[in-house]
Amino acid sequence: MVMPNHLSLAKGPETLSELDTPLKQGDYVHALKLLTKLSHQHIGLLQGAIQKIVADESMVDNTFKLRVLLFQSEQKLNEQLIDEAASIIESVIAQSEYVPEKTVLVLALLQKAVLNLYRNNANESIQLFHACEQMLESINDVEVEIQIAIYGYHFFSESDSHKAAEYVYRALDLAKQHQLVYWEAYSLLHLGTLNTLLNNNAVALDYYAESFALLSQLQLNIPMADNLMCQFNIYTRMQDYDTAITSLEQAIQLGQHCGWDHKIAICYGNISTLYLRQSNFEAAKIVAEKDIALSRQLNNAYNIGVAMFRLGRIEAGLGNIAKAIELINESISIRKNIISNTQLSHVYQILFPLYAQVGDFKSAFETQSNFMKLKFEIVDAEKTKESEALRAKYEAEKREAELKEARLQHTESELKALKAQMNPHFIFNALNSIQEIFFLGDKRLANKHLSRFSQLMRSILKSSGKKTISLQEELTMLEEYLSLEALRFGDTFSYSITMDDNVDPYTLDVPPMIIQPFVENAVKHGLLHKEGEQCIQLHVKFNESRNIIEVALFDNGVGRKASAEINKHRQSHESFSTSATQKRFEILNQSTVELFSFDYEDMEDENGLSLGTRVHIVLPIEN
């Protein structure tokens, strides 16, 4: 089927006749150039030319024929006819084994890589890509190198914009160096799409304009039309709907009568959607009908379905609910088996309120249940995908962890075990204190302390796997702990936590629960048996020249001597938290320059009576 050429820009027919001479003379390099140009100007004619060449049995150069087939598969990819493209690509790969020149194989593998991206096989895709990169050295072809770089952009565009940008810039540099204007325009276009992804609207538009100018110099109407479709996206995002529509109308004009019709249908669809979005239903309807007519002509069931769904929404907007329901149902049946669950759920979501509007509550209910059912399937599928990703991440992290030094691992697990030993002490002491409030019957107060207690538990759980936490977190834990103890002791108990001005608790890190055992000891052994006022004072200093935190903890309790006397009948009671702490300090000291240390100071008056206990704790910090 040969189409008439109305647009002065489309130079297709002349190029086609130009093709005869090089073909006859066997100048295939030139012929390929002309075919490339044709693919940018008139796809209909290109397809005619491809068929003629493939069918011509007098042509003996197999390499050239394979290259020509790749034009065909590329077109199929552009039209999203993935399976058809796949079978052509596979046959080219199979045949290219017998061809000594490797360019055709690389290009075929690269197309296969792109195809795998469409099919979401990222792993296989990237492997093919690396294979292409390796083979590149042996063929030394700049245009292939540029195409590989552009693929790299596609692969990374959504996951790693910096890497994607590196690839586009490589393509752009190569194109400029070798004065390949088309590829320069193509690279600029992708800088535009990259910036679109990054939400840099103005920058993207600049790149598109630069690319467009080069393309119009070359008079390549099809890439120009593609370029305008990219611009439409930006204008839509900027909510400049008028310019968005104008871009699409220009694209349609450039792409008319040259085999670009499947994209024209998409343009109509988008224009219609833009009108719909502005509630301009009359205008939307005219364009939507054009879309349907063209999609019917192209016999593209999927597009017909999408267009009908859109028309249904437009009719609903015009108040023709019955008509809308009819169209939307038809849009489902026409896309049977090819509509994705996500799209179908969207259709149902629009459909069920329409049924309700016309009073057909039975259908409304059914449609809504269908919508819900689908939605759950979708969410389930996503969840499976997520959990797979999580598992992969978990395994990767596990492997990483295994690579860590054995000694360090040993030390840390030992530390963890010690902390786990300390926590139950802490937990049950706090629980003890809180139990009493339940019996006071003050619900509000009970709630307050329960919240405090759960907050404390959360902090402990959170910190237990960590090497360090901020001093702020440690002090908050102590504050929570002490506030619960204050409850137990009643009005005679007071505590204070203070620090010097140069201590920034948010940036200084300490091992978790490093001060807590000392506070716990002070309460248990110092204050528990003390008559009268009980007080705890904790003061933090930061010695910047030595890079150490100095904690001074004072309690006015009975003193260590008296406490030992009181506890002497209880076997090995006191030893627990002190020995655990001692052990922990020793382990910590294996990995620092300054030493973790603590020493007790028993304070007595001249008569040898206890005034309390002071403990000095030194905590080195990481720089």
For the CB of residue 164, give the shortest distance to another protein in the complex, in Å. Answer: 12
Nearer to another protein, 315 or 473 (CB): 473
CA distance 347 to 334: 13
Which pair of structure tokens corresponds to residue 27?
Answer: 């100048």
Residue 119 DSSP code? T
User: Are 234 and 196 in contact, with CB atoms under 8 Å apart?
Assistant: yes
Instruction: With residue 499 as reference, give the H or E element that holds it.
Output: strand 493-499
How many angstroms separate the Cα of 581 from the Cα of each of 257, 478, 516, 577? 84, 16, 10, 6
Residue 500 in contact with another protein, rule: CB under 8 A: no
| Least Cβ distance, residue 179 to another protein (angstroms) | 32
Residue 597's DSSP bridge partners are 618
- Name the minimum Å distance from CB 435 to another protein: 15
According to the binding rule CB under 8 A, does residue 623 interact with another protein?
yes
Q: Which is nearer to another protein, 195 or 556 (CB)?
A: 195
Q: Give whichever of 380 and 604 is closer to another protein, judged by the CB atom.
A: 380
In Å, how far are 421, 492, 526 from 566, measured between CA atoms?
Answer: 24, 21, 11
DSSP label of 598: E
- Asked if 601 touches another protein (CB under 8 A), the answer is no
Tell me the per-residue interface mask from 406 to 445 with another protein, x by CB under 8 A, - otherwise.
--------------------------------------x-
Q: Does 621 bind another protein (CB under 8 A)?
A: yes
Q: How far apart are CA 250 and CA 255, in angstroms?
A: 9
Contact range with another protein by CB under 8 A, out of 301-309, 504-512, 567-575, 596-604: 504-512
**Alpha carbon 611 to chain centroid, angstroms:** 61
| Residue 377 or 550 having the CB closest to another protein | 377
Number of amino acids touching another protein (CB under 8 A): 37
Is there binding between residue 508 and another protein (CB under 8 A)?
A: yes
Give the whole-angstrom CA distance, residue 222 versus residue 186.
12
Residues in 371-400 that interact with another protein by CB under 8 A? 372, 375-376, 378-379, 382-383, 386, 389, 393
What's the min distance (Å) between Cβ of 454 and another protein? 6
* Residue type for position 17: S
Q: What are phi and psi of 593, to 5 degrees?
A: -80, -60
CA 163 to each of CA 28, 65, 125, 166: distance values in angstroms, whole numbers, following the listed order: 36, 35, 17, 5
Residues 438-457 that bind another protein (CB under 8 A): 444, 447-448, 450-451, 454-455
- Report the residue number, 257 or 375, with the smaller CB distance to another protein: 375
Identify whether the C-beta of residue 368 lies closer than 8 Å to the C-beta of residue 404. Answer: no
Question: Is 201 or 537 the residue whose CB approaches another protein more closely?
Answer: 201
Cβ nearer to another protein, comparing 275 with 453: 453
Helix axes 28-41, 62-78, angle to 10 degrees: 10
DSSP readout, 220-280? Answer: -HHHHHHHHHHHHHHHHHTT-HHHHHHHHHHHHHHHTTTT-HHHHHHHHHHHHHHHHHTT-
| Of residues 375 and 573, the one with the C-beta less far from another protein | 375
When asked if residue 458 is in the footprint of another protein (CB under 8 A), the reply is: yes
Least Å distance, CB 301 to another protein, is 27
What SS3 state is found at 335?
A: coil
Lay out the site mask for another protein across 124-163 (x = CB under 8 A, - = otherwise): -------------------------------------xx-
Q: Sketch the per residue contact string, 181 through 200, with another protein: x for CB under 8 A, - otherwise.
A: -----------------xx-
Instruction: Give the C-alpha separation, 181 to 187, whole Å.
Output: 10
The DSSP code for 319 is: T
Distance CA 131, CA 73 (A): 20
Q: How far is the CB of 460 from another protein (least distance, A)?
A: 11
CB of 52 to another protein, least distance (A): 49
Q: Which of residues 306-345 bind another protein (CB under 8 A)?
A: none
In this complex, which beta carbon is closest to another protein, that of residue 120 or of residue 571? 120
Among 473, 474, 480, 555, binds another protein (CB under 8 A): 473
Nearer to another protein, 58 or 239 (CB): 239
- Rounded Cα distance, 208 and 226, in Å: 10
Does the protein bind another protein through residue 472 (CB under 8 A)? yes
Please state, in angstroms and rounded to a whole number, the distance separating the CA atoms of residues 256 and 8. Answer: 11
Nearer to another protein, 468 or 494 (CB): 468
List, in sequence order, every residue forming a beta bridge with 493; answer none if it has no partner.
Answer: 534
Residues that bind another protein (CB under 8 A): 161-162, 198-199, 368, 372, 375-376, 378-379, 382-383, 386, 389, 393, 444, 447-448, 450-451, 454-455, 458, 461-462, 469-470, 472-473, 504, 506-509, 621-623
